[in-house]
Amino acid sequence: MNTKVRQGEGDVVTGAEGLPADCRRLVQVVLAGGSGTRLWPVSRENFPKQLIGVVGAESLLQATVLRMKGFPAAWDVAAEPVIVCGEEHRFATAEQVRDSGASARIVVEPARRDTAPALTLAALTACADGQDAILVAMPADHAIADVPALHAAIDTAARHAQAGEIATLGIPPTRPDTGFGYIRLGDALEDGAHRIDRFVEKPAAELAAQYVASGNFWWNSGIFIVRASVWLAALEKLQPEMYAACVLSHEQAINTDEYLRPCAASFQKSPSDSIDYAVMEHLGKPDSPFTGVVVPLQAGWSDLGSWDAVWDAMDKDEEGNASSGRVLFEGSTASYARSEGGRLVACVGTNNLIVVETDDAVLVADRSRVQDIKGLVSRIKREKAPEADTHRKVRRPWGFYDSIDHGERFQVKRIVVNPGARLSLQMHHHRAEHWIVVSGTALVTRGEEEFLLSENESTYIPLGVRHRLENPGRVPLEIIEVQSGTYLGEDDIVRFDDKYGRCS
Domains plus CATH for the chain?
A: 25-302 (3.90.550.10), 307-382 (no CATH), 393-496 (2.60.120.10)
Asked if 411 and 483 count as a contact pair (C-beta separation under 8 A), the reply is yes
Parts of the chain with a pLDDT under 70: 1-22, 503-504
How far apart, in whole angstroms, are the C-alpha atoms of residue 292 and residue 160?
9
Determine the distance from the C-alpha atom of residue 160 to the mean position of all C-alpha atoms in its chain, rounded to a whole number.
Answer: 27
426: left (phi over 0), alpha (psi -120 to 50) or beta: beta
Q: State the distance between the two ends of the chain, measured CA to CA, in whole angstroms.
A: 36
465 SS3 class: coil
Q: Could you give the CA distance from residue 46 to residue 265 in angstroms, rounded to a whole number?
A: 23
CA 292, CA 303: separation in Å to the nearest integer? 22
- What is the predicted pLDDT for the residue at 279? 94
d(CA 399, CA 417): 5
Q: Rounded to whole angstroms, how far apart are CA atoms 153 and 167?
A: 11
Which value, in Å, is the radius of gyration of the alpha carbons in the chain? 25
Give just the sign of the alpha carbon dihedral 374, 113, 302, 203: positive
Residue ranges with strand state E in 341-409: 345-348, 353-357, 362-366, 393-396, 399-406
Q: What pLDDT, on the 0 to 100 scale, is given for residue 23? A: 84
- What are the CB-based long-range contacts (under 8 Å, 24+) for 97-100? 97/61, 97/62, 97/65, 99/62, 100/58, 100/62, 100/65, 100/66
Q: Between vectors from CA 440 to CA 436 and to CA 443, what angle results, nearest 5°?
A: 70
pLDDT digits (tens, 9 = 90+) for 107-131: 999 999 999 999 999 999 998 888 9
- CB-CB contact of 79 with 25 (8 Å): no
C-alpha distances in Å from residue 129, one per residue of 28, 370, 432: 16, 45, 51
The span from the CA of 218 to the CA of 486, in Å, is: 57
CA distance 184 to 199: 6
**What local confidence, expressed as pLDDT, does residue 15 receive?**
34
CA separation for the pair 72, 124 (Å, rounded) = 25
| pLDDT at residue number 30 | 98
Handedness of CA 91, 64, 218, 132 (dihedral sign): positive
**pTM value?**
0.87
The reported pLDDT for the residue numbered 499 is 87
Q: Can you give the pLDDT at residue 22? A: 66
- Element containing residue 32 per DSSP (H, E): strand 25-32
